[in-house]
Amino acid sequence: MATSPARSGPENPTPTPAPAARLSAGSCPDPPRTPGRGGRSAEADGSGTYALLDSVPACPGGGAQKLRTGLPDLGDVRPSVLYLRGATDGLQVGGGASYNHFVTELAGGRNPAAAIAVVQATIDVEQLLAWDPEIILLGNFGPAIPATMYGDPVLASLRAVRGRRVYKVPLGGYRWDPPSHESPLMWQWVAGLVHGTGAPGLRAAIVQEYAFLYGAEPTGTQLDAILQLPANADSAGYADLGR
């Protein structure tokens, strides 16, 4: 397997925090913004405040524990979900020490890159074809969109491509792929894709959370933009996602 670990350091740039007054009013802890012990991400080694989010179900959107208890156990049939950062000039995956691995496991999926014990690594096409993920998430750290993969004949055999299950990660007040104050929305989005439920109620949850975080409610058109509806229009089950 050809992989190249990423440089050490923070997993992603620090997100712009929500207004402090609004967060303190809800007594919700800030998500982790830097790697935890030994270079591992905070959520991966349990040292970050995602553990605290589990214990604060009153936070908007609920904590991770609330999401876990509401999802069925898929057992040994968990779909493989691969996160790619979104670059068009390379394949950078989220390894076993990444926040994206945490989200995949939380939502009931299986990360085929879990054995790569770093935050992110660069793989070759041969490795991607060998893993053959069922779902591919394209991050917002590059311009790649589902059409990029659907139109590549080299990738035509991938299950995610054949099943039209490649999705551009939403982009709200901040990117949804790194940890931020909007993370519970990302968890709900991924769970809807993993379980094939279409994340019912997600659009309403975005409106509620944005009213809390930013003091404004997004319009229907703005919700379409946040959820990357144009980029995901040709992907399976996306037209009604979150409704």
Average pLDDT along the chain:
80
What integer is the mean pLDDT of 23-48? 38
Is pLDDT of 117 > 70? Answer: yes
Comparison of pLDDT for 188 and 15, the residue scoring more: 188
Is pLDDT of 104 > 70? Answer: yes
With beta carbons less than 8 A apart as the criterion, state whether 157 and 103 touch: no
Q: Indicate the domain borders of the chain.
A: 34-226
**Residue range 148-191, pLDDT digits in tens:** 999 999 999 999 999 999 999 999 999 999 999 999 999 999 99
Beta bridge partners of 136: 82, 166
Q: Which CATH superfamily hosts domain 34-226?
A: Nitrogenase molybdenum iron protein domain (3.40.50.1980)
Q: What is the pLDDT of residue 221?
A: 97
The set of residues, in sequence order, having a beta carbon less than 8 Å from that of 75 and lying 6+ positions away, is none
Nearest to 107 by CA among 170, 194, 181, 236: 194
Lay out the sheet containing 166-168: strands in order across.
3-5, 120-123, 91-94, 81-84, 135-138, 166-168
Nearest to 115 by CA among 136, 132, 94: 94
Q: What is the pLDDT of residue 57?
A: 39
With beta carbons less than 8 A apart as the criterion, state whether 179 and 33 touch: yes
Query: Quick one: what percent of the chain has pLDDT higher than 90?
Result: 66
Q: Which helix (H) or strand (E) holds 183?
A: helix 183-195
C-alpha distance from residue 161 to each of 56, 114, 232 (Å): 38, 21, 13
The DSSP symbol for 42 reads H
Is pLDDT of 212 > 90? Answer: yes
The DSSP symbol for 39 reads G
Q: Model pTM?
A: 0.77
Q: Which pLDDT band holds residue 192 (cuts at 50, 70, 90)?
A: very high
C-alpha distance from residue 141 to each of 40, 56, 160, 241 (Å): 20, 30, 20, 23
